[in-house]
Amino acid sequence: MMSSKNGSSLCRLGVVVTLAGVISMSIMFSMFKPSQKCPLPPPKPKLNSVKNCTNSNNVAKSSNSVKSNSVTEKAEEKPIVLLWVWPENYRFDFSDCKTFYNIDNCHLTDDRALYNDADNVIVYHRNIQWDLSDLPPSPRPPFQRWIWLHLESPTNTKRITGLENLFNLTLSYRQDADIPVRMRLMTRKKPNEDFVIPKKDKLVCWIVSNNDPLTGVDTRNVFYREFSKYIQVTLFGKAYARFLDYNDYYPTMASCKFYLAFENSVHKDYITEKINGPLAAGTVPVVLGPPRRNYENFVPAESFIHVNDFPDAKSLAEYLLHLDKDEDAYRKYFNWRKHLTPSPHLILQTQEFILAICTACDHVARHREYKEAHDLYDWYFS
């Protein structure tokens, strides 16, 4: 995802994960030093504050208000997750975690008055100042874990000194983050035999919001310039002054045979919602990003076309033109739909961080163990 300053049109699509994705996140790998075997952190003092947070925008509030004002055992068990700042100032209602992902096992809040009780504090990287002002106060309560939230690729990451050994958990698109954030396809219980490919009236489409050369888009632009000599591409988005209304996003995508899912920069695991859109809409993604094998960790090999499958842009264009004529060959790109179901992701700009924050909520409710994240940048930029 590129960030706000560069593109505010619909193409700044928030990432979303399916519920299955959230569940599968319980399997994690970490490149950090293994968690030290420490005694459990000191127990947290009993809270009487849960019912006092009526002015905070939080999930627990609604569930508590249903059960009058009493703090039930159950409510007390929910870890408090304090969102220190709103990423890019995109506010949302914390109850969205329940609405979109059926997640409500933590108590999300943005009320800094709860800092001393917060089990987890989410800190958004792009909002951290170079002088580290406006980080949560230190020393932190002994039981409290700080979560580093960052969804941009290394190309678009400020290396702010002083954060290397500050956090406990990382929340990122990287698969080896403590809390990986990603859309996933859900496995079907019963095969679906009746998927119908949506009607197509365009060959190749591309929605581009960000075209800032500083964000690494050069690779994809060079490829595109060559590619578009051989095949017609319908362009949308802010970068091309053809703004697409949010409501038209999925229908427009569905009406294209192919969609250019070109990442802004090429990094391991940096495979964003750009591929999820076409998969969800019933369109074949043509991807540019990390190697094919990396994509295949997340989506079926036969669900997409990789630009590196071809020696050059011209051969890719020729292959797409061939598929345009060969209905049966084209149809094969949808066979995976028998066994897997995609989910549309949230596409409003203000929804960009909902998935990540809800995923963190679910994770910390299930994993309460001691953890330190060291050498943040050695890991992130490696």
Ligand X SMILES: *[C@@H]1O[C@H](CO)[C@@H](O)[C@H](O)[C@H]1NC(C)=O
Which residues form the interface with ligand X (CB under 6 A)?
Answer: 41, 143, 145, 165, 168, 370-372
Select which of 77, 88, 152, 164 is catalytic.
Answer: 152
Residue type at 169?
L
**Secondary element (H or E) of residue 154:** none
Asked whether the bond before 191 is cis by omega within 30 degrees of 0, the reply is no
For residue 139, the minimal CB distance to ligand X (Å) is 9
184 vs 371 by CB, closer to ligand X: 371
Active-site residue 372, yes or no? no
Contact 154/173 with Cβ under 8 angstroms? Answer: no
- Beta-carbon contacts of 322 under 8 Å, excluding residues fewer than 6 positions away, are 329
Q: How far apart are CA 259 and CA 257, in angstroms?
A: 7
Structure-token pair, residue 219: 């690779």
Phi-psi region of 88 (alpha: psi -120 to 50; beta: other; left: phi over 0): left
The residues with which 235 forms a beta bridge, in sequence order, are 206
Which residue number, 55 or 138, has a Cβ lying nearer to ligand X?
A: 138
Strands laid side by side in the 80-83 sheet = 107-109, 80-83, 120-124, 145-149, 169-172, 179-180
Of 97 and 376, nearer to ligand X (C-beta) is 376
Looking at the DSSP assignment, which residues form a beta bridge with residue 108? 81
- Give the Cα separation of 227 and 203 in Å (integer): 13
Contact 305, 332 (CB under 8 A): no
Q: Which residues pair with 167 in a beta bridge?
A: 373
Closer Cβ to ligand X, 79 or 278, answer by number = 79
Nearer to ligand X, 195 or 370 (CB): 370
Question: Least Å distance between CB 168 and ligand X?
Answer: 4
Q: How far is the CB of 177 from ligand X (least distance, A)?
A: 16
Closest CA to 200 of 339, 330, 316: 330
Q: Which is nearer to ligand X, 179 or 204 (CB)?
A: 179
Contact at 8 Å (CB) between 227 and 317?
yes
SS (H, E, C) 39-108: CCCCCCCCCCCHHHCCCCCCHHHHHHHHCCCCCCHHHHHCCEEEECCCHHHCCCCCCHHHHHHCCCCCEE
Nearer residue to ligand X within complex by CB, 13 or 147: 147
Least distance between ligand X and beta carbon 17 (Å): 25
Measured distance CA(131)–CA(317) in Å, rounded = 49
Minimum distance between the CB of residue 141 and ligand X, rounded to whole angstroms? 9
- Of residues 155, 101, 133, 146, the one with CA closest to residue 289: 155
Contact indicator for 365, 101 with CB cutoff of 8 Å? no
Instruction: Compute the least distance from the CB of residue 145 to ligand X, in Å.
Output: 5
CB of 371 to ligand X, least distance (A): 5
Active site residues: 152
